[in-house]
Every structure is written in C-alpha cells, then in structure tokens.
Structure 1
Amino acid sequence: MLYLVASCIALLFGPLFYRYFSSGSGLQKGLDGFIFVSLGGLVLIHILPELLEHGGILTLLFVVLGLWGPTASERLFHRYSEITHNVTLTLGIGGLLLHTITDGGAMVLAQQEGNSTLLALGVIMHRLPVGVAIWWLLKPQVGTKWASAVLVAMMALTSVGYFAGEQLLQHLSIDNTVYLQAFVTGSILHVVLHQPHGNQNDDVQGRYQYQAGIGSLLGVGLLALLLLVDTGGHNHHSHGSDQFMTWLLTISPILILSYVIATARFKAGLSPLNEGLASRWLQRLAGPEALIITLLLLGPWFAIYQAIGLLVIGTLLSLGNVELTDPHENLPQSAWRFGFAHLVDRSAPWIALSLILANLIGHPSIHLEHPALQVLILLAVFLPMRFCNLGAAVLALSLAYSGWSNVAVAFALIAAPVLSISQLKLMSWGMRAALSTVLVVALLFAHHYLVDWHQLLTLPDSINITAAVVVGLIFSASLLRLGPRKFLSRLLIKFNSHSHDHSHKDGHEHNHGHHH
C-alpha cells in the first residue's frame, strides 16, 4: 500500500514543478528540457523495448504511424492542424492513462516474494516526469480543472491496477494491447518533439539554452537512475537497460581516443574547410577517427574493408564534383575546441541515436535474419537522415553486438555517412547509379568474403566506467551549450522543415533553430 501512495504522490509533483518553473522564460526552458529528455528517453529506452518484446517488428510500424501520422495530417490539412494536434494529445494522454493500470499491477508484483522492491521504486520514479509532463502539456491548453482531472484519473487507474484481480490485468496486458500502446507511444513522442504551447519563439536569440541544458541534464540524471534501478530490479527489460549500458561502457574509451585523433588531425591541418574536395570527403566519410572504433571493436578486417570502401566512394564523389551537404560552420581556431567541443556537438546526437536505434531494431524479438531485409531496414533509417561517421561506426558496432549479419554491419559502416536524401539531391542520376553500383558490389563482397568480427581491445571495467563518466561530461557540456532541442535539431532536419509550434496563432514566425 505504501508503494501505491508513493506513486500517487510522485504524480502530484507535476503541478508543484509547473508552478515554480513557469515563473520565468529561463525556468520554462529548463522545465521543457527536463520533459523533453526524461519523457522522450523513458519512451525510447524503457517502454519501447518492452513493447518490442511482446509485439515484434510490427510494433515499430505502429510507433511510426503514431509519431509521423499527425505531422503528415497537419501538412495535408492545414485548416484542421489544431484538431489533429488535440486528437494526438488526447491519444498520448489516453495511452499514459492505460499505462498507469499496468504500473499498479507491477507494484503488486514487486511485493511478491522473490521479486525486488526496486521494480516498485522504478515505477514510482518514472511517474515524476510523467506527472510533470501531464501538467506541462494540459494546463496551458485546457486549464487547471481538466489537468487536475487527468491526474486524479491516473491515480484512480493506478489503484485499479493495484487492487484489480488477475483477470482484469490479463485483459489489459501488453500482449493484448501491444499495438495500441505502440501507436500511442508514437503519439507521445510526437507531442514531446513539438513544444506544446509555442514558447520556442520566446527565445529567438538562444538566451535560455543554458537553462534548457540544465533541465535536460536533470532529465538525463533521472534516466540514468531509472536504468540503474531497472537493471538491478528485474530482467524483463534487460535488453533495454543492460545492453544499452554495456554498449555505452564498451565504446566510451574508444570515443575519447577518436576525439583525441580528431584533435590531432585538425592540428595537422586536416580541416573540414580544406579547399580540396577529396580532403573534405575523406573527413566526412571516415574522419579518419571513425576507423579507430572499427579497428579496435570490430577487428582489422572490418577496418580494412571500411577504409577501402570509403576510399572508393570518396574518390567517386570527388571526381564527380559532388558537394557535401550540411557543411561545418563557425570552426574554432583551437584544435582542442574542435575535437572536444565542435565535433562533439555534431557527433554526440548521432552517437546517442545510433545506440538507441540499435537497441530497438537489434532487439532479439525482431527476427530479421535475412541480410537483405536487414539492409532494407537500415536503408529506411539512413535516407531521411545524415549520419556522421562516428555515429555510423557506433551503429555498426551495436548491430554487430546484437547479432546482425556482416552485410548489415558493413552497410552501416560505408553507407550511413553518405546515403541520405539531402546528399542524394546534390548528385546527378548518373552519380546516384554509380554510387548504388559501388554499394551493391561492396555488400556482395561482404556477404561472401568478410570474416566474422572480433573485439581487438578489451579494457578493465574501471577504465570503461571512468571513460563513460568523461564522455558523459563532454556530452553534458554540449547539452549545456546548445540546449536539448538544438542539440537534436540535426537529427530532425528533414522532418522538421515545416515544423510547427502547435500554438496555431495567426502570424507566428517559424524559427526552428536549424543549423545546417
């Protein structure tokens, strides 16, 4: 009973936080950063892997429908965009209400003999960002009365889940509602990505990015605590928690080494603004710091394959005078600032995305054993984005550790940094055909001749943990410099090109903070 009361009290922090943090624009940005990171991360790292475990790959389709369906509707039917947003918001809130029933059931399980009380603690803790988000989303749009009603309903449904018989919980189990929950999860992500009441235009000059960064770091801290509790408490989220942390610990020392090498090559004069097109393509595709990750964590044969493949692709694009999309801007003079600030700002979002993507599409319950199917899935991921070379190497590494084929790993290594819609638009049809031919030949070679990967460097846990702390600090510094939305804006370039603030007021300006 104590767990039930604690989980309800956790929800009541929502109005308290909102009352305190809505008193100024800077504090609002801080609260937005906290919700953006904590609720978004909760969905991607904690909830989605559990849904995938029960629903398989079809779950991802429903998540995508929930995420991009409202955006597509708003673009097609501009007159009804506010209605579309309200429906999406209602779906998201409804999904959170449904999820509270299972939360109540989880706390009952935690009290049974043999189960850890950390499960209940995890449920209680993840109610904190949910309660804050509910109030943050609803209070400005429907007022205090309806926002309070939703919080009361969440408490009531948590009690229903806590006291209900097993029969009711069985009907509302994830197995029976997995695709509905997946669609609703996508709706929640849609609402999180789009600020609910248009306050992004209040900070045109970016004066409050520091406060937004502080809020996002608090969100990251809460997520880390949840992951630790989740890992210690129960095993059914092991893919979403244990594996994510294992990958992070494994790559952290090598990431630091990669940033050191990037610093050294910048000091030696290999700059992204070199006049030679071939030099710029070499840095875009390989770094060459990305090759270090491949060499040390996938082995020499994968590194040689990647180096030769990227050299051929870079030569082809250079001879074809294909310009690079998303060029570097405002390069610092200091080599250390380039390696550990500028390059971190550009690569950190992709590294985080790569870990999360591999954690989802590499889930054991998603049976994609055929290499061709794996490549098609990756192609669908690459086209709307523009991966950096470090993000591509981390994605390839994570896929390899998830048991994906050598062909898929090789495809991520050589195709991710170049195969995007924005980059393909800068190529002629002949160049696109030539690039496609090179990639097909490279994949056929990988299928027939590329040997299995093996980790060349294994470090003690103490070094991995220390390196992970250092990586966390330099990524945190990037969050503080940029704020969470600008930090992730590069990932959303294609989808956010006509973004909206959901305030739907006449004459509002579209200022999206894109930094191409």
Structure 2
Amino acid sequence: MLYLAASCIALLFGPLFYRYFSSGSGLQKGLDGFIFVSLGGLVLIHILPELLEHGGFVTLLFVILGLWGPTASERIFHRYSEITHNITLSLGIIGLLLHTITDGGAMVLSQQQGNSPLLALGVILHRLPVGLAIWWLLKPQVGARWAGIVLVAMMGLTAVGYFAGEQLLHQLSIENTVYLQAFVTGSILHVVLHQPHGEHTTDKQGKYQYQAGIGSLLGLGLLAILLLMDTGSQAHEHHEHSHGVEQFVSWLLTISPVLLLSYLFATLRFKLGLQPQHQNLGLRWLQRLAGPEALIITLALLGPWFALYQIIGLAVIAGLLTWNKTSLTDPHLQLPESAWRFGFAHLVDRSAPWIILSLILANLIGHPSVPLENPALQVLILLLVFIPMRFCNLGAAILALALFYSGWNQVAVAFSLLAAPVINIAQLKLMTWKQGLMLGGVLVSAFIVADLIPLTSDYVLVLPESINILGLAIISLLFGASLLRLGPRKFLSRMVTNLKPEHHHDHKQSHGHSHHHH
C-alpha cells in the first residue's frame, strides 16, 4: 500500500511543478527540456526495447505509424490538423492510462519473494515526468479540470492494477497489447517532439536555451537513476542477452575513452591546418567522410582490417566526389579560432546527437528479437535510416560498432562505415544522376568486397574498467555542456530538421534554427 500511495503522490507533483515553472518563460523552457529528455529517453531506452522483446520487428512499424502518422495526416488534411493533433494527444493519454494499470501490477510483483523492490521505486520515480507531462500537455489545451480528471483516472487505474490480481494483468499484458502499446508509444514521441503549445512562448533569440539545457540535464539525471535501478532489478533476473539498459550502458563505457581520443585528434588536425573550410575540395571531403578522427574509433574498437577497408573505401569515394566537383551539404559555419574549442565544443555540438542516436538505433534494430539475419535486408533497413538523415562520420563509426556488437553481418557494418556520411537526401540533391550512379557503383563494389573478405580481427583495444568509467564521466560532462549551450531541441535540431516537417504548432517557435541539414 505504501508503494501505491507513493506512486499516486508522485503524479501529483506534476501540477505543483508546472504551476511553479510556468510562471516565467525561462522556467517553462526548463520544464520543456526536462520532459523532452526524461519522457523521450524513457520511451526510447526503456519502453521500446521491452516492446520489441515481445512483439518483434513489426513493433517498430507501429511505433513509426504512431510517430509519423499524425504529421502525414496533418499535411494531407490541412483543415483538420487541429483535430488530428487532438486525436494524437488523446491516444498518447490513453496509452499512458493503460500503462498505469501495468505499473500497479509491477508494484505488486516487486513485493513478491525474490523480486527487487527497485522495480517499485523505478515505477514511482518514472511517474514524476509522466505526471508533469500530462499537466504540460493537457492544461493549455483543455484546462486544469480535464487535466485533473486524467490524473485522478491514472491514480484509479494504478489502484485497479494493484488490486485486480493477475487475471486482469494477463488480459492487459504486453503480449496481448504489444502493437497497441507500440502505436501509442509512437504517439507519445510525436507529442513530445512537437511541443504542443509552443506558440505561447516565443523564443526567437534562443535566450532561454540555458534554462532548457538545465531542465534537460535534470531530466537526464532522473533518466540515469531510473536506468541504473532497472539494471539493478534486471541483475536479479539474470537475462541471458539483456539488450536493454545494460547493453546501452556497456556500449557507453566501451566507446567513451576512444571517443575522447577522437576529439583530441580532431583538435590536433585543426591546429595543423586540416580545417573544414580548407581550400582543397578533396581534403574537405576527406574531413566530411572520415574526419580522419572517425578512423580512430574503427581502428581501436573494430580492428585494423575494418579500418583499412574504411580508409580505402572512403578514399575512393572522396576521390570520386572531388573529381566530379560535388559540393558538400551542411558546411561548418562560424568556426571557432581555438583548436581546443573546435575539438571539444564545436565538434561535440555537431556529433553528440548523432552518437546518441546511433546507440539508440543499434539498441533497437540490433535487438535479438528483431530477426534481420539476411545481410541484404540489414543493408535495406540501414538505407531507409540513412536517406532522410545526414550522419556525421563519428556517428557512422559508432553505429557500425554498435551493430557489430549486436551480431549484425559485416556487410551491414561496412555499409554503415562507408555510406552513412554520404547517402542522404540533402547530399544526393547536390549530385547529378550520373554522379549518383557512380557513387552507387563504388558502394556496391565495396559491399561485394566486404562479403568476400573476413574483416573481423582480434586486435581490438580493451581498456581497464576504471579508464572506461573516467572516459564516460568526461564524455557526459562534454555532452552535458553541449546540451546547456544549445538546449535540447536545438541540440537535436540537426536531425529533426531532416525528419520533422514544419508542424502547425511550431510556426512561431523556430529557435533560430539554421536551415542546413546535418
């Protein structure tokens, strides 16, 4: 009963926090940052892998439908966009209501013999962003009364889940409602991404990004606590192939020190004159495709054969694009004078969102319950990911690495290394058909080579745990500083500008985003 009461009280913090935070625009931006990161992160790292485990690959299709369906229908039916948005909002709320029943059940389970009480604590803590999000989404749209009714309903349903016993829980179990939950999860992501009442606070100068950054760091802190608890409770269950939180944390630990080395290398090459605005087009292409700091990640963590393959492949692609005089999309604007600022601020701002996205993507599409053994199918899925987005070279290397760790075929890993930084709509628009076909020919030849020659190697850098933890701490500080500088929406805007069509709720809130694609 104590857990039940605590989980209901946690929901009530939502209106209290909201009332305090919505008094000023800066605080409201902080609240936006907190919900954006905590709720978005909870869905991507915690809820989605669990849904995938039960529903397999089809789950992702339902999530995409929930995420992009409302945007597509708003574009088709301009006149009814408000109705569409309200339906999406309602779906998201219904999904959160359904989820509360399983929360109630989870708290009962946590009290059973052999189960960890951390599970109940995790449920209680994740109600904080949920309660806040309900109020943040509903109060500006339908007023305090309806928002209050939804919160009371959530408390009632938590109690139902807590007392109803296993019969009802079985009916509403993940196995029985996995696709509905996946669709609703997509709806929640849609609502979080599209900030439903952005028009109330215009922030054209981006002067509240610092507050948004602080809010997002607090959201990250809460997310970290929840994920660590989840890892603790999973440790009790001894998952054979835990592909959720533990996997994510272990990847972060492995990658962090090498990533620091890459940023250091980027600082050094900037100092020596190899800069993004170099006169030589070939050298500009080399920087775009390889860095060359991305090669350090490949060499250290995938081994020398993958690195050699990447060097030769990218050199051929750079040569072809230089010979064709193909210009680069998204040039670096406003370069800092200091090499240190370039390596550890400018480059972090540009690469951090892609690195995080790459890890989340690999954690989802590399999931063991997503059966994609066929290399051609793996490459096709990656192609669908790369075309709308403009990966940076560090993000591409991290994605390749994470897919390799997930047991994907080396052809798909090689495809990520070569194609991710160059196969995207923004870049392809700057090429003629002939140039595009030549690039396609080079890539196909490279995949045939990757299929014929074994690229795996035992010469992979393994660092002591203490170095990994220190590396992760420093990377967290660098990424945190980037979040503070930009605020969460601008931090992700390079990806979202490619993904997110102009949304009718966002017109007055452009944050001064640059229109180039990253």
Residue equivalent to 2:432: 428
Residue equivalent to 1:505: none
Find 2:286's aligned residue among 282, 288, 291: 282
Residue equivalent to 1:316: 320
Residue equivalent to 1:487: 491
Give the 5 Å matches for 1:328-477: 328-454=332-458, 456-477=460-481
Q: TM-score, normalised on structure 1?
A: 0.97
Identity of matched residues, %: 75
Q: Does the 8 Å CA contact 1:297/1:457 hold for their aligned counterparts?
A: yes
Q: TM-score, normalised on structure 2?
A: 0.97
Aligned partners of 1:455, 1:375: CA distance in 2, in Å?
26
User: Which shifted more, 432-441 or 232-241?
Assistant: 232-241
Aligned partners of 2:251, 2:325: CA distance in 1, in Å?
38
What whole-Å deviation, never above 9, does each CA across 1:273-306 have from its counterpart, x for those lacking one? 1111111100000000000000000000000000
2:258 is aligned with 1:254: yes
User: 1:203 aligns to what SS in structure 2?
Assistant: coil
What whole-Å deviation, never above 9, does each CA across 1:241-273 have from its counterpart, x for those lacking one? 000000000000000000000000000000001
Aligned partners of 1:136, 1:369: CA distance in 2, in Å?
42
Give, in angstroms, the shift of residue 118 of structure 1: 0.5
Residue equivalent to 1:63: 63
Residue equivalent to 2:504: 500
Aligned partners of 1:390, 1:324: CA distance in 2, in Å?
17
What whole-Å deviation, never above 9, does each CA across 1:436-479 have from its counterpart, x for those lacking one? 11111101110111332446111111110011000000000000
Closer, same or farther: CA 119–509 of 1 in aligned 2, 3 Å = closer
Residue equivalent to 1:40: 40
Q: Does the 8 Å CA contact 2:389/2:499 hold for their aligned counterparts?
A: no
Q: Does the 8 Å CA contact 1:302/1:450 hold for their aligned counterparts?
A: no
Q: Does the 8 Å CA contact 2:358/2:396 hold for their aligned counterparts?
A: yes
Aligned partners of 2:215, 2:436: CA distance in 1, in Å?
43
Q: Does the 8 Å CA contact 1:375/1:408 hold for their aligned counterparts?
A: yes
Aligned partners of 1:328, 1:73: CA distance in 2, in Å?
35
Aligned partners of 1:113, 1:150: CA distance in 2, in Å?
33
Aligned partners of 1:299, 1:377: CA distance in 2, in Å?
25
Q: Does the 8 Å CA contact 2:204/2:511 hold for their aligned counterparts?
A: no
Q: Does the 8 Å CA contact 2:25/2:201 hold for their aligned counterparts?
A: no
User: 1:205 aligns to what SS in structure 2?
Assistant: coil
Unaligned ranges ≥5, structure 1: 503-507
Residue equivalent to 1:72: 72
After TM superposition, the runs of 4+ consecutive aligned structure 1 residues lying more than 3 A away are 235-238
Give, in angstroms, the shift of residue 166 of structure 1: 1.2
Q: Does the 8 Å CA contact 2:54/2:178 hold for their aligned counterparts?
A: yes
Q: Does the 8 Å CA contact 2:354/2:395 hold for their aligned counterparts?
A: yes
Give, in angstroms, the shift of residue 512 of structure 1: 5.3
Q: Does the 8 Å CA contact 1:396/1:412 hold for their aligned counterparts?
A: yes
Closer, same or farther: CA 509–212 of 1 in aligned 2, 3 Å = closer
RMSD of equivalent CA atoms: 1.2
Give, in angstroms, the shift of residue 499 of structure 1: 2.9
Aligned partners of 1:73, 1:88: CA distance in 2, in Å?
11
Aligned partners of 1:292, 1:29: CA distance in 2, in Å?
38
Residue equivalent to 1:91: 91
Q: Does the 8 Å CA contact 1:201/1:511 hold for their aligned counterparts?
A: no
2:295 is aligned with 1:296: no
Q: Does the 8 Å CA contact 1:297/1:454 hold for their aligned counterparts?
A: no
Residue equivalent to 1:108: 108
Aligned partners of 1:360, 1:373: CA distance in 2, in Å?
15
Aligned partners of 2:252, 2:124: CA distance in 1, in Å?
26
What whole-Å deviation, never above 9, does each CA across 1:223-244 have from its counterpart, x for those lacking one? 1111100000124693210000
Residue equivalent to 2:13: 13
Unaligned ranges ≥5, structure 2: none
Amino acid at match of 1:217: L
Q: Does the 8 Å CA contact 1:41/1:223 hold for their aligned counterparts?
A: yes
Q: Does the 8 Å CA contact 1:231/1:238 hold for their aligned counterparts?
A: no
2:272 is aligned with 1:268: yes
Amino acid at match of 1:487: F
Aligned partners of 2:454, 2:417: CA distance in 1, in Å?
13
User: 2:265 aligns to what SS in structure 1?
Assistant: helix
